């Protein structure tokens, strides 16, 4: 009999962090033997670790504690690559500047906005659009605060980057214009 897999967001992000953490020692082992430059290490980190970490992040509805855990992982690995010790008292923003990369939150926002633009251009009968923007017609909800949906989180993201949540879908009709808009907003 097959066991049910845990598909809660916390378990998914935890699994992604563990897989990415498993890749990192191989990167460190390779870089120690061949005297690879920091730029090459950072590029390999982006390609191997970050791409794995962010797989499917565009659909995640993250809570603050999840973002903090992911950011802590990212900072830890960047500090290892750049050989920054905690005694050096380098702030996180400086680490990101030295690595020429963005924060986890910025990257996830960029992915989410790109995905939302794609969903807005897709025909209404396509499954990804139906799943992302549909609502249940019937059923009971448990007591307490309602769970955030992708649509709710997207609205919050759009407000955070100063895009009007009421007419964002019309802006996505022109793909190049949407890309330019999402890049210009707060350095995305």
Selected residue with higher pLDDT from 17 and 2: 17
pTM of the entire predicted model: 0.73
Q: Return the DSSP state at 125.
A: T
For 22-56, what is each residue's pLDDT tens digit? 776 766 665 555 678 888 888 988 888 888 878 77
CA distance 163 to 179: 13
CA distance 144 to 146: 6
Q: Dmax over Cα atoms in the chain, in whole Å?
A: 61
Q: Return the DSSP state at 46.
A: I
For 146-187, what is each residue's pLDDT tens digit? 777 788 888 888 998 888 888 898 888 889 988 888 887 755
Torsions phi, psi for 3 (to 5 deg): -80, 150
Inter-axis angle of helices 64-82 and 92-99, nearest 10: 60
The percentage of the chain sitting over the pLDDT mark of 70, rounded to a whole number, equals 82
- Other Cβ atoms within 10 Å of 109 Cβ, number: 22
With contact defined as beta carbons under 8 Å apart, do 13 and 67 qualify? no
- Output the six-digit token pair for 109: 């926002």
For 83-109, what is each residue's pLDDT tens digit? 999 899 999 999 999 999 999 888 888
The mean pLDDT value of the chain amounts to 81
């Amino acid at each position: 009999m097959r066991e049910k897999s845990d598909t809660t967001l916390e378990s998914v992000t935890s699994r992604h962090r563990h897989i990415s953490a498993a890749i990192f020692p191989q990167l460190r082992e390779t870089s120690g033997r061949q005297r690879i430059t920091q730029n090459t290490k950072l590029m390999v980190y982006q390609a191997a670790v970050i791409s794995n970490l962010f797989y499917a992040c565009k659909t995640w509805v993250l809570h603050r504690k999840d973002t903090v855990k992911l950011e802590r992982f990212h900072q830890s690995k960047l500090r290892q690559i750049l050989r920054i010790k905690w005694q050096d008292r380098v702030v996180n923003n400086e680490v990101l500047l030295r690595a020429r990369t963005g924060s986890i939150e910025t990257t996830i926002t960029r992915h989410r906005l790109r995905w939302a633009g794609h969903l807005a251009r897709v025909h209404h009968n396509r499954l990804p659009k139906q799943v992302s923007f549909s609502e249940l017609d019937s059923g009971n909800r448990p007591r307490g605060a309602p769970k955030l949906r992708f649509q709710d989180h997207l609205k919050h993201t759009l407000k955070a980057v100063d895009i009007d949540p009421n007419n964002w879908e019309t802006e996505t009709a022109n793909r190049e214009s949407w890309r330019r808009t999402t890049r210009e907003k707060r350095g995305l």
